[in-house]
């Protein structure tokens, strides 16, 4: 085996090992990746029941209903479409109607989004980037334009 052949064999072997490592990493991350979806995305895309997603938008005014055992239901809207959300647990202190939220969970077979975590905005001017982008795409953004 010449020196050139050994070098090509070494490079080829390193490429195979690198490709296998990338493949294993992508396989391991497949169940961990959670994509952000707006209510319009949920309505227009065929998101299968049971797929884990992040749903973001505004809590619709007058939609919050508190039930037994810390169960809360509310609707998340991007002003074009609305998704019913059910959550059991303690909501963040800043959670209220008309405010931006990002919830994480799965869509049930009945179309209700079952959230296992709810994040609320933390001050008067903050809006999660995904929610702001979704509202801008809908043409209903009322915040300040970025100056970057």
CB neighbour burial string for 73-101, b if at least 16 within 10 angstroms, e if fewer: bbbbbbebbbbbbbbeeebeeebeeeebb
Q: How far apart are CA 20 and CA 64, in angstroms?
A: 49
Residue at token pair 């690198």:
18
Q: How far apart are CA 5 and CA 129, in angstroms?
A: 52
Angle at 52 between CA 48 and CA 56, to 5 degrees: 100
Q: Tell me whether residue 126 is annotated as binding.
A: yes
Query: Three-state SS for 147?
Result: coil
Read off the DSSP letter of residue 9: H
For residue 43, what are its two tokens? 């309505």
Q: Tell me whether residue 86 is annotated as binding.
A: no
Binding-site residues for heme, please?
122, 126
Q: Which residues are annotated as a binding site?
A: 122, 126
């Amino acid at each position: 085996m010449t020196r050139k052949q050994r070098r090509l064999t070494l490079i080829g072997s390193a490429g195979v090992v690198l490709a296998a490592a990338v493949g294993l990493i992508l396989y391991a991350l497949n169940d961990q990746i959670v994509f952000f979806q707006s209510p319009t995305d949920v309505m227009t895309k065929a998101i299968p029941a049971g797929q884990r997603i992040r749903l973001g938008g505004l809590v619709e005014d007058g939609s919050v209903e508190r039930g037994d055992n810390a169960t809360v239901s509310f609707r998340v809207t991007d002003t074009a479409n609305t998704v019913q959300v059910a959550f059991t647990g303690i909501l963040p202190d800043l959670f209220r109607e008309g405010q931006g939220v990002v919830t994480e969970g799965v869509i049930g077979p009945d179309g209700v989004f079952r959230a296992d975590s709810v994040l609320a905005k933390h001050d008067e001017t903050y809006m999660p980037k995904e929610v702001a982008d979704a509202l801008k795409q809908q043409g209903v953004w009322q915040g300040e334009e970025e100056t970057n």
